Amino acid sequence: MTIAFYTLAAFILALGVLVVSTKNTVHAVLFLVANFLCVAMLYVLLQAEFLAVIQVLVYAGGIVVLYLFVVMLVNLKRGPETHVDPRRRDRMGLLIGGAVLAEFVAILLYGFAPRATGAAPAAAAPGVGNVEQVGWSLYVDYLVPFEVASILLLVAMIGAIVLAKKEP
Amino acid sequence: MPTGYSANDLVLLLPEIVLTTGLLVVLVADLFTGRSRQHWLGWLTIGVLVATAVPIVALSGHATTAARGLLAVDGFGAFFKLLFVLAAAITVLISRQYLEVEQARPGEYYFLVLCATLGMMVMAAGIDLITLFIGLETMAVSFYVLTGFLRPNRRSNEAAIKYFVLGAFSLGILLYGMSLVYGLSGTTRLREVAVALATQSDSLALKLAVVLVAAGMAFKIAAVPFHMWAPDVYEGAPTPITAFLSVGSKAASFAMLLRLLLEGLPAMAPEWRGLFYVLAVLSMTVGNIAAITQGNVKRMLAYSSIAHAGYILIGIVTATPRGVTAMLVYLMIYAFMQMGAFGVLALLRRRDVVGDELKDLSGLFFRRPLAAFAMLVFMLSLGGIPPTAGFMGKFWLFSAAIEAGYVWLAVIGVLNSAISLYYYVRVVVFMWMREELESASVHPSPGVAVALTVAVAATIIIGVYPAPLFELAEASAKTLGMAPRVLSLR
């Protein structure tokens, strides 16, 4: 559990860094997809299956397609090529190899270490599914903020139209 | 925690429901009004605001919660809701003429003003992290669009982009702090958060959360060092929106800050007291000194509003019932004088003149003696000169600070008030003693005249006879659940 969490967290962080540091925009978006998928796995780990599915559908699906459209429409010019270190690949390989090795050692150490039987996160109330629970808290407990959020989306929509429409 | 919804909830949420219905009516009515009859939309908006004020007043005596304990229905919320409705009404009154000069369509404008008001009302009533955040976001997004509403105007565009980027960033910081609070307490309801966190006030993560929440909110109230956006945004936004932004958004953020700190994080009082002490001193000093050098009146008022945020923060540092009362009083007074000053500036906007440079005020007394007199009253009040309301406001804030033992804070505040007089009086000098540049006269529309009359009357009457406002604020501050408990922690 803990190992999985830290591994995923490391991947999410690394992919996040890659998203902002990559020069090629399309590559950045693809790293973002990988990042979103890792976050989805994190949700599965936390037993929030519903959130995980939504994450994949909305973020890795919809939002990323939107990003790709923007990248296509804006047609970003590639920045001037910076000086490329000829030994860059070697160093990258060394780094990744080292990380995998460290992970391997960590897994071994953890595997043989006497484990404290930490309680797993409290599962959802028996008999009530994950999705159903989300529904309850969204439409019953947090009904009022949910309604206000609908006004918020209306404002965003009308604001976009106001700012983007052509003058008559 | 209440377990279900009842008809009672509908009654308790009546102000929000009336306003939501009203803003949708305005949006649809815009479709059916021709170009020539669009000034009716302004009056319809005023009607919606008046209709919202009625249930607010009717519910102001309650002290309960609605919607499963997410929204408080109490005097504190009612006081702020009335302030927002008032500020929105004055904004709409001074907007019509301005929009005609700018040739902007008013339909969506009024709709967005009402949406921002709804967001503020949720911010003042919310006692739940998610509810507060949604309210803040509704207000902020409305203001992003309103700031950039004058699309042909490049300054307006620039202001909107700056406000949006920095605003989104600060909301992220605030949300991070809130998520830490939720993670540490296991609940989003502020009153349960206070109970859960009462025993772990030395946790490092909690301190981090307090810092992040304070930073996020300090951005919204434009306190130094989170003020960089204010001058540019205030200058670029349409003048009535600048007025609404500097009064409504600031008051709503102060209301939310009070809810967060006094209802949710009273256990962390020593930490956030120190933080806001520093922010208050910085805001007062930097705001006033920077305002001296400004030649543009909107920028000058922006820096002055940063300084005023510093004065008001004194109330948070004291965190006593008296300090909170003084904050409420000051915010109400500030609403009148600040909106009035921007109202006069909006009046000066004409087809060929932007009207926000100091020299545009030259000789205003000879062109428009009444407008000049109104501006004189607002400037004196902002500077804190005795017969006006601004003096009473500052008097209570500083005396609350002294009563709570923060004598130095009061001294710094008084010194800063003296500095600020220089640039407020300079405006008066320009109006009275400079040659007028051009003879074109400005004709105030009935709406602007009503708004300025109300603002001048309120500024003078509160200055002469402040007792009713003070008693109202005192009764409202009492209903903010935790204020007495913080006092006993000292």
Answer yes or no: is B307 within a domain. yes
Q: State the smallest CA–CA distance between residue B181 and chain A in angstroms.
A: 18
**Out of B112, B135, B152, whose CB is closest to A155?**
B112
Question: Looking at the complex, does the CB of residue A140 fall below 8 Å from at least one CB of chain B?
Answer: yes
CA distance between the termini of chain A: 60
Residue A150 pLDDT more than 50?
A: yes
Q: Complex ipTM, two decimals?
A: 0.89
Answer yes or no: is B177 within a domain. yes
For the stretch B251-309, pLDDT in tens is 999 999 999 999 888 888 888 999 999 999 999 999 999 999 888 899 999 999 999 99
Query: Alpha carbon of B38 to those of B42, B105, B230: distances in Å?
Result: 8, 9, 31
Which letter, b or e, does each residue of B397-421 get, where b requires 16 or more Cβ atoms within 10 Å of its Cβ?
bbebbeebebeebbebbeebbebbb
Name the helix (H) or strand (E) containing B65. Answer: strand B64-66
Answer yes or no: is B44 within a domain. yes
Average confidence score pLDDT of chain A? 80
Residue A22 pLDDT more than 90?
A: no
The domain tally of chain B equals 1
pLDDT, greater one: A120 or B375:
B375
Residue B115 pLDDT more than 60?
A: yes
| A151: chain B residues, CB-CB within 8 Å | 20, 23, 115, 118, 138
Residue B481 pLDDT more than 70?
A: no
CA-based nearest residue to B358, from B291, B418, B307: B291
Contact present, A31 and A17 (Cβ < 8 Å): no
> How far from chain centre, in Å, is Cα B239?
15
Mean pLDDT for the stretch of residues B35-54:
88
The mean-pLDDT minimum among A14-18, A74-78, B87-91 falls in: A74-78
Q: State the smallest CA–CA distance between residue A99 and chain B in angstroms.
A: 29
Which residue blocks in B269-388 are alpha helix, DSSP H? 269-292, 297-318, 321-347, 364-367, 369-383
| Percent of the residues in chain B that have a pLDDT greater than 70, as a whole number | 95
**Out of B67, B138, B144, whose CB is closest to A144?**
B67
**Out of A140, A148, A155, whose CB is closest to B142?**
A155
The mean-pLDDT minimum among A120-124, B25-29, B127-131, B435-439 falls in: A120-124
Interface mutation vs chain B, best among A151, A153, A158, most B CBs within 10 Å: A151
Q: State the smallest CA–CA distance between residue A45 and chain B in angstroms.
A: 17
CA-based nearest residue to B301, from B247, B354, B363, B359: B247
| A148: chain B residues, CB-CB within 8 Å | 118-119, 122, 131, 134-135, 138
Which range of B7-11, B174-178, B200-204, B357-361 scores highest in mean pLDDT? It is B174-178
CA-based nearest residue to A28, from A39, A37, A17: A17
- The pLDDT of residue B338: 94
Which tokens go with A113? 């270490």
Mean pLDDT for the stretch of residues B228-257:
94
- pLDDT band at residue B366 under the 50/70/90 scheme: confident
Answer yes or no: is B255 within a domain. yes
Name the helix (H) or strand (E) containing A65. Answer: helix A64-74
- pLDDT band at residue A83 under the 50/70/90 scheme: low
CA-based nearest residue to A102, from A14, A13, A10, A31: A10
* Other C-beta atoms lying within 10 Å of the C-beta of residue B389: 29
Q: Supply the range of the domain harboring residue A145.
A: 132-168
Q: Supply the range of the domain harboring residue B109.
A: 7-488
Contact present, B264 and B89 (Cβ < 8 Å): no
Mean pLDDT for the stretch of residues B322-329:
93
Name the helix (H) or strand (E) containing B72. Answer: strand B71-73
3-state helix, strand, coil in chain B (%, to 5): 80, 0, 20
Residue A79 pLDDT more than 80?
A: no
CA angle B342, B346, B349 (to 5 degrees): 145
Q: Which residues contact B344 (CB under 8 A, 6 or more apart)?
A: B371, B374, B375, B378, B452
* Other C-beta atoms lying within 10 Å of the C-beta of residue B60: 20
Q: State the smallest CA–CA distance between residue B471 and chain A in angstroms.
A: 32
Which tokens go with A131? 């999705």
Answer yes or no: is B1 within a domain. no
| A140: chain B residues, CB-CB within 8 Å | 68
Answer yes or no: is A122 within a domain. no
Residue B484 pLDDT more than 60?
A: no
Answer yes or no: is B2 within a domain. no
Question: What CATH number does the domain containing A38 carry?
Answer: 1.20.120.1200
Specify whether A70 is located in the same domain as A137: no
- The pLDDT of residue B66: 85
Answer yes or no: is A109 within a domain. no
Q: Which residues contact B224 (CB under 8 A, 6 or more apart)?
A: B279, B282, B283, B285, B286, B287, B306, B310
**Length of chain A measured in residues:** 168
Classify residue A84 by burial, with Cβ atoms within 10 Å: 0-12, 13-18, 19+.
exposed
Residue A33 pLDDT more than 60?
A: yes
Answer yes or no: is A56 within a domain. yes
Q: How many helices (H) and strands (E) does chain A have?
A: 7, 0
Answer yes or no: is A163 within a domain. yes
Answer yes or no: is B204 within a domain. yes
Query: CA B444 to CA B100: how far, in whole Å?
Result: 13
Query: CA A14 to CA A99: how far, in whole Å?
Result: 12
- pLDDT band at residue B489 under the 50/70/90 scheme: very low
CA angle B460, B396, B310 (to 5 degrees): 95
Which tokens go with B5? 């919804």
Identify the residue whose tokens are 């301190």. B207
Contact A152 B141 (CB under 8 A): yes
Answer yes or no: is A121 within a domain. no
The domain tally of chain A equals 2
Contact A148 B112 (CB under 8 A): no
pLDDT, greater one: A135 or B261:
B261
- pLDDT band at residue B485 under the 50/70/90 scheme: very low
Which letter, b or e, does each residue of B189-205 get, where b requires 16 or more Cβ atoms within 10 Å of its Cβ?
bbbbbbebbeeebeeee
Answer yes or no: is A60 within a domain. yes
Answer yes or no: is A85 within a domain. no
Residue A111 pLDDT more than 80?
A: no
Contact A143 B68 (CB under 8 A): yes
- pLDDT band at residue B487 under the 50/70/90 scheme: very low
Query: CA B35 to CA B230: how far, in whole Å?
Result: 34
CB < 8 Å & 24+ apart, contacts of A47-55: A47/A121, A47/A123, A47/A124, A47/A130, A48/A130, A49/A130, A49/A131, A50/A130, A50/A131, A50/A134, A51/A134
For the stretch B56-114, pLDDT in tens is 999 988 888 888 888 999 899 999 999 999 999 999 999 988 888 888 888 889 999 99
Answer yes or no: is A123 within a domain. no
Amino acid identity for residue B1 in this structure = M
Q: Give φ, ψ of B173 to 5 degrees.
A: -60, -45
| A-B Cβ pairs (cutoff 8 Å, strict) | 68
- pLDDT band at residue B387 under the 50/70/90 scheme: confident
